Structure 1
Amino acid sequence: MADITQNFIFNPLWAQVFALLALYLTLRNVTLSKKLAVGSDFQQLLLVLFFGSILFAGLGLAGIAAYQLPVTLAVQAISAGIFLKILGRYTKKNYYSGWLLALNAVGFLVSVTLAALQVAWYFHFWESALIIANWGYVTYQFYEVSQYNTPKASVLLDARGTLTKLTLWIHGLIFLLVPFGGYQIPLVQMVLLPLSTIVYLWTLTFWHRRAYARMSHQRDLMEKNMNSQYEFMTRIGNAIAEKLDIDRVLDFVVHSAVKTANADGGAIFLVDEFDDVLRVKAVEGDFPPPYDVPAKVKLKANNLENFFKSTPIPLGETIIGECAATGKPIFVRDSKMDPRMVHNSRMDQIYIASLILTPLMQGKKVFGVLAIASRKSNHLFSREVLSQIKTFGDYTSLTINSLYTYLQLLEKQDMERDLGIAAEIQGQLLPSHLPRVSSVSLAAFSQPAKGVSGDYYDIINIRKGQILLTVCDVAGKGIPASLVMVMIRTITHLVARQPQMTVNRILDIVNWGIAGRVSLDRFATVAMLSYDFATHQLEYSNAAHHPLLIYRAEQDDFETLDTEGIPIGLERKTRYNQINTVLRKGDLIVLYTDGIIEAMNEKGQQYSLESLQVVIRDHHQESPEKLKKLIIADMEKFVGKAKQHDDETFVLMRVEH
C-alpha cells in the first residue's frame, strides 16, 4: 500500500496533469467570453487527453505498464482525428478515410498483442512510427489549405506551423528514445507529453485571438454605426424643427448616406403615383445613371446630369425601378459580376463599381428609393454598409411619412392635428403582422385611450431560431412621445441582430442613445426579452416596467421575472441587468402595460393582475389569438360603461414545442 501511495505521489504524469489543467482553464476562459467555432472540438481533445492520462497512470500503478503503449497510440490517433475534424469545418471535407481508420485499428490490435507477448523493445518502434504517420497525415492536409481554396483559411494558415511542426518534432524525438523506453520513460512523461499539450493550448490561442479581433471589429463597427445613426437622427430632427421642407430633408438624407458610406455619390428617387414612375428628387456628389444612356448624352457632363435628373424611370424598369417594384434592398457589391449593371461596368462616364439601393416605404407601400454608389474599383461596399443604409432608409421613411402627415394636417388646421400625427406615426411603428414561427404562437393587442397611445410593442425575428419581444410605455402624448418611440424602435432594430447581443445590452444602448437627447419628461419604461427556439432559453431585462408574467403549464402556476432598473432616457450611464430562465412546452409569457391591470370600472375598482391570471389559467389551452380575445372580453365585462382612462397593451407568447 505504501508503494502504491509513493508511486502515486511521485508519478511523473503530474506534469501532464498540470498541462491539462492549463488547457482546461484557457479553454474555459475563451469559451465563456467568446463563442468559438472550435470550442467543442478542443473540449473533446481535453477529455481524450485527460482520460488517456488517467488510464496510462492506472496501468502503471497496476503493474501492467506494457499496455500503456496501446493507450498512447489510441490517444494520439484520436487527437490527430480531432484536428482533422477541425480542418473539415473549414474545407467541408471528410478526412476520415477508410484506410486511415483501418490502419489505426490494426495498429492498436498489433500494439495490444505486442504488450501481451512482452516482446523486445525494438518492436515498439511500430507504435511510435504509426503516431508520426498520423500526425504526418494531419500536417499534409493542413498544408494543402490556402486562401484560394478554403474560405476563412487565415486562422488555419496561422496555426498550422505551431501545431504540426512542433508536434512532429516532439514525437520524432520520442521515436529516437524508443530504445530507452519511449513513451514510458520519465523524461517523456514529465517534459515531452506535457509540452505537446502546451502546443495544443498554443494552437487554441490562434482561434482565441481571431475571435477577439472579430468581436473588437464588430464592436468598433457597431459604435461607429451607432454614432452615425445618432448624428443622423439628431440632425434630421433639427432640420425639421428649423423648417418643414421635404426637399431640404431629402438633401440632408442623401448627403448623410454618402458621407457615412464614404460613397462617391447618392440619390433619392420618389414615386410619382399619377404616372407610375420614379423621379430624381435629390442628388449628392458624383452619381451616374445606373442604366444605359444614349452615347451623345455621355459627351458632356452637363448633358449627363440634366438627362439623369429629367428622365423618369418606369416602375419595374432598370435596377432602380426593380427596387421600387419589389420593395426589397438591392446590393451590387461588384458591378462586373451583376448582369443588370452591364452598361455601368465599363470604365466610362457612367461607370459604377458598387451600388446599394434601399426602398423607402410607408407600411407595405413603396414611395421612393435611396441609392448610393462607389465609382472606385478598389472601394466596394460591404454588408455592414448595406445594413447602415437600410437603417437610414427605415428612419428616413418614418421621418418623411411623419412629415407628409404633419404638412397635410397643418393645411386642415384641425385642432386634433397633433394627436392625429402621433397616431399615424405610431401606427407605422407597430408591426403590420406578427412573425409566423413553428416553435411559438403569438398574439398582441394595443388600444389607445384617446387616439394616441403612449404604449409601443414590437416583435422581431433577430436571427434564425431567435425572437425578440418588447413592450414600452412612453411618458407624455403627441408627436414628442411618438418621436421617442421612433428612436427606441430604430435603435432596437439597428443593434438587435448584432452577434452576441443580449437584451440588457440592447437596453443599455437604447438608453445611451436617448438620454440627453430628449427632455427629462420624455422617458419610457421598457420590458424586453429574447427567446431561443433551440435551447428554450429566455433572456429578460426590465427598465422600470411591470415584471414579466409566466404561466408554467406543468405546474399550473404563475411565475414573475423582474430586474432592477430606472426608465429609459433619464441617466445615460445606467446599466441594466438581465435574468434568464428556461421555457417548456405549453408555457405562456405575458408582457403588459399598466392600462391592463389598472383598467377601472364605474366603482373605481381595478381589473388587477389576479383577474388577468384567472383568465389565463382557465383558458391556457387556447391559442394566444383566442386567449387574447377572451382577455379583452373579460376586461370589457369588468369595466362596463366606464371610460377607458389609460392605454392598454399586452403581448402573448406560448411555447408550442
Structure 2
Amino acid sequence: MELASQLSREQRKIQDLLSSLGFALRSLSNLNQLLELIPLMAARVTDAEAGAVVLFAEDNQLGLVKLYCPDANWQPSLEALLEPLRELHADQAAAIEAKLASDPWVVAQNTSILVKSALRGRLYVFSRVANYHWTEGRQKLLRLVADQTAVAVENDTLNKELQRKEKLDRELEIGSEIQAQLLPRSCPRIEGIRLAARCLSADKVGGDYYDFIPIIHTNRWGIVIGDVMGKGVPAGLLMTMTRGMLRAEVLRKDPPALILEHLNHVMYADLENSNRFVTLFYSEYDPTTRTLHYSNAAHNPPLYWSAHTQEVHLLDTQGMLIGLEPGSLYQQQSQQLNAGDVVIYYTDGFTDAADRDSHRFGEQGLNQAVRWAVTHCESPEQILEYLFEQLRQFCPNGHCGDDMTLIVLKAE
C-alpha cells in the first residue's frame, strides 16, 4: 500500500513538473528565460542532482550552457566541464562528452535536442548516487523534456526570422514610398501634347524609371524612360542614382545625345562595380517647333504612330547601355509631331510578360494593341488604360514577373 502511494506521489510530481514546463513554454517569449528552467526540470523528473542544457555553436556564434546544480561545491567543476561545449559545433562535442562520462564518481546521462532532425544541443543530467539507475522511465522523461526544449528553440528561430522579415518589409515599404515620391506625381501640362504614364513594380522596389524634366529658361521638356538591369532593392537604388544624375546633366542644356554621353561617363564606375547596366531613352520636346529630339541608350525604342499615314514605326538611334563602356558615343534623331500623332514609351517588362503557357506578350502583341488603341481611344489616359487592360487579360494571374512602365504622348 505504501509503495502504491509513493508511486502515485511520484507520478503526480512528474505531471506537475511537466505541466509547469508546458506552461512556461506557452508563456515565456524569451528563450533564455525558458532555458533557465530546462536543467531544473530535467533533474527533477529523473531524480538527478544536477542538470544542464547545451546548445551548440552555429553561424559563427557561441553556443549556450545553462546549468542547474544546488550543490555550490560541485557546481564549479561541472561548469568547467561544460563550458568548452559552448565553442563547439555538434559534430565536435564527442570528446568532451566522453570526458563527462568517464568520471567514476559521476553518473552522466544525456539526450539529443533535435530540431528538424538536426542536432542543435544536448540535455544532461548528473548524479553522484552510487545506485542511481538510468531506467527506461527516466530515459523517456528526459527525452520528453528534450523534445519540449527543441520546440522552444525552433519557435525562437522562427520568431527571429519573422522579426527580420517584418523589419525588411518595413524597410521595403519605406523604400517603395520614397521611390514612388521620386516618380512624377502627375503628368505636366505641356503646350502641344498630352501625357499619361504609369509604373508598376514587380516587387515593392523596382528598377523602372520615367520622368518629365523641365529644362530651365526654355519651354522645352525632357521625357525619359529607363530600366535598370534586374529588379528589387539593388535596381531601385541604381534607378534613384540614375534619376539624380540625369537631372543634373539636363541642367547643362546639352542635346540628348551629349546628355547620354555625359551620363554614361559619370555613372560608368558605379555601374561597373555593381555589375549592372541601365537602358535609357531620353527625348526632348520643343513646343515651339513641335519636334521631339531623342537619343537611345539600348532601350526599347518607342512606337510612333502617325495620324497622317496611319502607320507605326520605331523611334530609335544607335547607342550602348549606360555603364557598359566608358567612352560610348550616342546618336540623335528628331521627329516632327502633328496633331493626332501618338508616341508609346515602354519598358521590356511589358513585352516580356508571359501567360500560363509561357507565351510572351511581345512586341507584336504591343504593336497590335497600340494600333487598336490609337484609332479607338481619344485621350492618352484611355490609350494607357487600354494597353494595361490588354496585358491584364493576357496575364490573368495578375503577375507578369517584371517591372512595367508606359508613357503615352499624344500630339494635339
Pairwise TM-score range, normalised by the shorter structure: 0.5 to 0.7
* Structure 2 gaps, min length 5: 1-162
Count of aligned positions: 246
Q: Report Cα offsets for 1:524-552 as digits up to 9, x if no partner.
A: 11111111111122211111111121001
Q: Which structure features the higher share of helix residues?
A: 1
Mapped pair 1:433 → 2:175: no
Q: Larger RCO: Structure 1 or Structure 2 (Cα < 8 Å, ≥ 6 residues apart)? A: 2
Q: 1:623 aligns with which of 379, 387, 407?
A: 379
State whether residues 425 and 482 of structure 1, in contact with CA within 8 Å, keep that contact through their aligned partners in structure 2. no
Distance 2:164 2:338 in 1: 55
Equivalent pair of 1:443/1:628 in contact (CA under 8 Å): yes
How far apart in 2 are the matches of 1:598 and 1:478? Answer: 17
C-alpha RMSD over aligned residues = 2.1
SS at match of 1:622: coil
Once residues 344 and 228 of structure 2 are traced to their aligned partners in structure 1, the CA distance between those partners, rounded to angstroms, is 19
1:458 positional shift: 0.5
Shift of 1:641: 2.1
The correspondence for 2:315, drawn from 539, 545, 561, is 561
Residues 546 and 470 of structure 1, relative CA distance in 2, 3 Å threshold: same
C-alpha spacing 1:421/1:567, structure 2 compared with 1 (3 Å): farther
Q: Distance in 1 between matches of 2:388 and 2:315?
A: 24
- d(CA) in 1 for partners of 2:167 and 2:388? 32
> Within 2, Cα distance between the matches of 1:476 and 1:604?
19
Indicate conservation of the 8 Å contact 1:473/1:525, yes or no: yes
User: Once the 2 structures are TM-superposed, how far is the Cα of residue 574 of structure 1 from its aligned partner?
Assistant: 1.4
Is the 2:231–2:402 contact (alpha carbons within 8 Å) kept by the matching residues of 1?
no
Please name the residue that 1:190 is paired with: none
Separation in 2 of the partners of 1:438 and 1:633?
29
| Cα distance in 2 between the residues matched to 1:521 and 1:471 | 21
Q: Does 1:608 align with 2:362?
A: yes
Contact 1:492 1:510 in 2 (8 A): yes
Give a deviation string over 1:540-580, Cα, whole Å, max 9, x none: 11111111210011111101121222211222211211122
Contact 2:204 2:232 (C-alpha < 8 Å) held by counterparts: no
Aligned counterparts, 1:393-412, within 5 A: none
Post-superposition CA distance 1:90-148 (Å, at most 9, x none)? xxxxxxxxxxxxxxxxxxxxxxxxxxxxxxxxxxxxxxxxxxxxxxxxxxxxxxxxxxx
Instruction: Give TM-score, length-normalised by structure 2.
Output: 0.56
Cα distance in 1, alignment partners of residues 227 and 370 from structure 2 = 23
Residue pair 1:596, 1:607 contacting (<8 A) in 2 also:
yes
Partner of 1:68: none
CA contact (8 A) 1:418 1:479 kept: no
| Match status 1:524 vs 2:287 | no
- How do 1:114-133 and structure 2 match up within 5 A? none
Structure with the higher fraction of residues in strand conformation: 2
For residues 174 and 267 of structure 2, the distance between their equivalents in structure 1, rounded to whole angstroms, comes to 21
Provide the rounded CA distance (Å) in 2 between the counterparts of 1:607 and 1:479. 26
Cα shift at 1:609: 2.1
Single out whichever of 574-583 and 523-532 deviates more from structure 2: 574-583
Written as runs of structure 1 = structure 2, the 5 A alignment for 1:154-553 is 414-417=167-170, 419-463=172-216, 464-499=218-253, 501-518=254-271, 519-553=273-307
* Cα offset, 1:412, TM superposition: 8.6
Structure 1: how far apart are the matches of 2:346 and 2:283? 13
**Which residue in 1 is equivalent to 2:404?**
648
Q: Is the 8 A contact 2:223 2:282 kept in 1?
A: yes
Contact 1:542–1:577 (CA under 8 A) maintained in structure 2? yes
Rounded to whole Å, the distance in 2 between the matches of 1:444 and 1:563 is 23
Does structure 2 retain, via aligned residues, the 8 Å contact 1:529–1:541? yes
Q: What SS does the aligned partner of 2:206 have?
A: coil
Runs of 4+, deviation exceeding 4 Å: 410-413
**Would the aligned equivalents of 1:600 and 1:642 in 2 still touch at CA under 8 Å?**
no
Q: Deviations over 1:567-601 (max 9, x none)?
A: 11222211211122212111111110111112111
